[in-house]
Amino acid sequence: MGFRIGHGFDAHRLGEGRPLMLGGVSIPFERGLLGHSDGDCAIHALCDALLGAAALGDMGRHFPSSEPRWKGAPGRVFLEQVRRLITEAGWAVENLDVTVVAEAPLLSPHCEAMRKAVADGLGLELHRVSVKAKSSDGLGAMGRGEGVAAFAVALLASNE
Residues contributing to the site for Mg ion (CB under 5 A): 10, 44
Which residue's CB comes closest to Mg ion? 44
Q: In 3D, which of 48, 46, 43, 75 has the Cα closest to residue 60?
A: 48
CB of 1 to Mg ion, least distance (A): 32
Q: How far is the CB of 106 from Mg ion (least distance, A)?
A: 22
Instruction: Decide whether 70 or 130 has the Cβ nearer to Mg ion.
Output: 70
Q: Are strands 3-16 and 31-33 parallel, antiparallel or unpaired?
A: antiparallel
- Helices 41-53, 111-122: axis angle to 10 degrees equals 40
40 and 21 in contact (C-beta within 8 Å)? yes
Q: How far is the CB of 2 from Mg ion (least distance, A)?
A: 29
Query: CB count, 10 Å around CB of 132?
Result: 15
Minimal distance, residue 12 CB to Mg ion, in Å: 6
Residue 151 carries which side chain, given as an amino acid letter?
F
Q: Name which of 10 and 103 has its Cβ closer to Mg ion.
A: 10
Nearest CB to Mg ion, comparing residues 85 and 157: 85
Separation CA 5–CA 39 (nearest Å): 25
What's the closest the beta carbon of residue 93 comes to Mg ion, in angstroms? 20
Q: Which residue, 60 or 123, has its beta carbon nearer to Mg ion?
A: 60
First to last CA, the chain: 7
Closer CB to Mg ion, 3 or 9, in the complex: 9
